[in-house]
Amino acid sequence: MNWINKDTEIYCSFAETAGNTGCQMMNTSFHYYGLNKIYKSFSVKSIEDAVNAVKTLNIKGFAITMPYKVDVLKYVNGMSDDVKEIGAANTVLNFNNGFLHAYNTDAYAARTFLGDYDNRKKLYIIGNGGYSKAVKWSGSDCRFETEIVTRSNWNEIYDIRDSVVYNCTPVDITNMVHPSNDFINCLVESKTGKQLARLQASKQFEMYTNKRFPL
């Protein structure tokens, strides 16, 4: 493992409240390959200021978490076709010192995960933020009939039966979901949340390094 030096490439994540999961997975994976790269999560109040910092410091790539997955698109130079359709991104690569291109590895993880579920069941997506947009797009790609549950019809969660329920909010709704449902919880503390985090991070790591995710 190289010591951090003037040539170390920096990758990061921006969130309203920073977490440790991305740091642990990415830095462990960089170390596995002996790459001169580091990863750091940041709590930010302005995604515009954060993106400007990326350009100033030549940060090579970054992840975006709630609540900035939609707003970040105002400040990039290009986006993948799926991001154009979804309307949200969670990954940005910095090409040529300032050309920022947006991607969505949440969609990759959700599509991979939903592929293991019965699409004859209805898919209920809880929440309507940037992550929800990626899940809705993925559900459509997997041929699910979908319905969005938001704060305006929140109590409907109690009535859902024999369906797939996908929580896309920071609220733990485990106790609200009937056991007849297949429950996918995005919270990283949950079993499914950990699996989803690994899936999307694996794609990010490949984009950052052109190497296979080792975890």
Residues designated as active site: 69
Q: Do residues 13 and 22 touch, judged by C-beta distance below 8 A?
A: yes
Give the length of the chain: 215
Close Cβ partners of 118 (under 8 Å, ≥ 6 residues apart):
164, 182
Taking the CA atoms of 11, 14, 17 and 19 in sequence, report the sign of the dihedral they define.
Answer: negative
Centroid of chain to Cα 134 = 9
Q: Do residues 165 and 122 touch, judged by C-beta distance below 8 A?
A: no
Are β-strands 123-126 and 37-43 bridged in parallel, bridged antiparallel, or unpaired? unpaired
Which H/E stretch holds residue 49? helix 47-57
Q: What's the token pair of residue 60?
A: 């090579």
